[in-house]
Structure 1
Amino acid sequence: MNSCLAPDAHPVRPTCVLPRGAWDAHCHVFGPGVDFPYAPDRSYTPPDAPYEQLRSLHDYLGLTRGVIVQASCHGSDNRAMLDAIARSEGRYRGVAIVDGSESDAQLEALDAGGVRGVRFNFVAHLGGAPDLAVFDQTVDRLAGLGWHVVLHLDAQDISTYAQRLQRMPVPFIIDHMGRVKARDGLGQPAFRALLELMENPLAWVKVCGAERVSAGRRPFEDAVPFAEQLIQAAPDRVLWGTDWPHPNISQDMPNDGALVDLMAMFCPDPAQRHKLLVDNPLTLYGR
């Protein structure tokens, strides 16, 4: 079982001033483990990164709202996420992990608790693809709730699951720019497949996780051209987030203040930045 580095405890003050109402559309809370134990079958054990730390970071960076995405280290036990949302006085929404056994009443309770979507991990180092029958059955249940699906994929999975993605009946979000690799260039098949996927009006993408796209050295500017093209391809269906506290980073931990300024590099236009940080997340998470 892998362990994770703690996030950078000293974020710089961003030079970019964020618009009023800006969202961090991809962040996590971990533990504290004494109150919310980690899943026995987890592939990594993170340092505790509780609600209080997340809220303090958002206040410091100028982020007003947030989406807490359930991570695999907590499995389908969504209590830490739900506790954070409940304590936030409406500031946060959530994306859950489910195992397919949930009743309609349980899904409705998650909705009442601020959940607006379900996440599925396909990434190999986190256990690989889920049971696809459970995946399909779960997706079919989401439309009535007004939820969407968040997909954490490896780059090559975009082509592998292309047909399944094209028949999705609800909005779906590709995490972290599809985890394409900057070293393989803008012409790589995985990135071309992602751009083609963005022609689907139900497809969204998060232009975050630059440290996962980059060759791996701060300030991760080699990820900028990929984010720029995705924003251009689907300006009304892009989201951005910090990915705090950056699970599974083994070296060159991002600085969250620097990530805000990196976002400003690939989205320099104030009107588009307002879409990215305010209007677009409100479409999915505003209720």
Structure 2
Amino acid sequence: MAHGDTTGPFDKTPGWLDWYDGPSVPTFRMPPGAVDAHCHVFGPGGEFPFAPERKYTPCDASAEQLFALRDRLGFDRNVIVQATCHGADNSALVDALQRSEGRARGVATVRRDVAEDELQRLHEAGVRGVRFNFVKRLVDRVPTDSLEEIVAKIAPLGWHVVIYFEAEDLPELYDFFSGIQAPVVVDHMGRPDVSKDPEGPEFGLFLRFMRENENVWTKVSCPERLSVTGPRALDGEQQAYTDVVPFARRVVEEFPDRVLWGTDWPHPNLKDHMPDDGLLVDYIPRIATTDDLQRKLLVDNPRRLYWPEDALEGE
């Protein structure tokens, strides 16, 4: 499909936040059973309205379009993460999970007063985790006061906790995060400043956080959010997000059993450029450089966390 084509499953809805509608077919061939472990659905707004308190308004990005992208890129399954624009109304997420025929799991957002029967309903739909957003520009207040209470409620279900924060805030949150009594998944390596030294103290603190807390996993995703150089041509080839590679590769090699990867489609709240998801997939072998590391990153680890019933089975 050529960029700009407005027919087919990638039809877009007008809006200021439009995704790249002509994703290339990646040259990297993923191992069988690969999971896109971080992606979203938005709306459609006429059916699943956006939260009044949202900090941004995306265009529609439906389950149908997500699953078409899954197939185009060569993934087998998805993990759909509730984004802040839908608040704690998980209706669009649940709808997508129910339509996935078992090929998607979810991460929800819930409030501290969530009822046990609501959590059970979400679990039956395929939710396996709950997300807490500590990025101050995206929330009115960080959820330190509610996290422990919610963790106690989700413990019987075996769910994990997803935390989203920025590197500059880790020092003040380090002890709090270290005390979470559940498996923890960090979004996007804690958003390091990739203009700094990957061997420097800021990223070193994140690596220490993972070393000292064996319950902590991380997604080595979203180079398009972290990069300063962006996608660019190098030696006649498209070498995307080169400045992020040393950070992500370091994490993959040191913590091969606790890393995940996802597209972050449809890339909410990006303003500089909309990435080609095929190009993002071609970034994977540059950070997971062997077949074994690629299988752990894309198949074994997400299956163990989201489909534990068949995590060790082949496709």
Aligned length: 285
Letter in 1 for 2:21: A
Q: Which has the larger radius of gyration?
A: 2
Q: Is the CA contact (8 Å cut-off) linking 1:22 and 1:277 kept in structure 2?
A: yes
- Output the CA distance in 1 between the equivalents of 2:290 and 2:89: 40
Larger displacement relative to structure 2 (183-192 or 228-237): 183-192
Q: CA deviation at 1:190?
A: 2.8
Q: Which residue of 2 aligns with 1:248?
A: 269
Letter in 2 for 1:25: A
TM-score for the superposition, normalised by structure 2: 0.88
> In the TM superposition, what whole-angstrom CA distance separates every residue of 1:193-215 from its partner, at most 9, and x where no partner exists?
11011111100000001112211
Q: Is the CA contact (8 Å cut-off) linking 1:27 and 1:243 kept in structure 2?
A: yes
Aligned to 1:56, what secondary structure does the other structure show? Answer: helix
Q: Which residue of 2 aligns with 1:60?
A: 72
Matches within 5 A, 1:1-287: 4-127=16-139, 129-199=141-211, 200-215=213-228, 217-218=230-231, 219-286=240-307, 287=309
Letter in 2 for 1:228: R
Q: CA deviation at 1:265?
A: 1.1
- Output the CA distance in 2 between the equivalents of 1:131 and 1:53: 32
TM-score for the superposition, normalised by structure 1: 0.96
- Output the CA distance in 2 between the equivalents of 1:258 and 1:131: 34
Q: CA deviation at 1:188?
A: 3.8
- Output the CA distance in 2 between the equivalents of 1:204 and 1:160: 20
| Identical amino acids, percent of aligned pairs | 47
Aligned to 1:161, what secondary structure does the other structure show? Answer: helix
Q: Which runs of 4+ in 1 moved over 3 A?
A: none
Structure 1 runs not aligned, ≥5 long: none
> 1:180/1:129 Cα in 2 relative to 1: closer, same or farther (>3 Å)?
farther
Letter in 1 for 2:247: F
Letter in 2 for 1:207: V
Q: CA deviation at 1:128?
A: 5.4
> In the TM superposition, what whole-angstrom CA distance separates every residue of 1:124-147 from its partner, at most 9, and x where no partner exists?
220254332211211222221100
Letter in 2 for 1:206: K
RMSD: 1.2
> 1:269/1:4 Cα in 2 relative to 1: closer, same or farther (>3 Å)?
farther
Q: CA deviation at 1:251?
A: 1.2
Q: CA deviation at 1:159?
A: 1.7
> In the TM superposition, what whole-angstrom CA distance separates every residue of 1:175-234 from its partner, at most 9, and x where no partner exists?
011111111221343311110111111000000011122115212111010001111221
> 1:30/1:233 Cα in 2 relative to 1: closer, same or farther (>3 Å)?
same
Letter in 2 for 1:210: P
Letter in 1 for 2:121: A
Q: CA deviation at 1:4?
A: 4.6
Larger displacement relative to structure 2 (98-107 or 20-29): 98-107
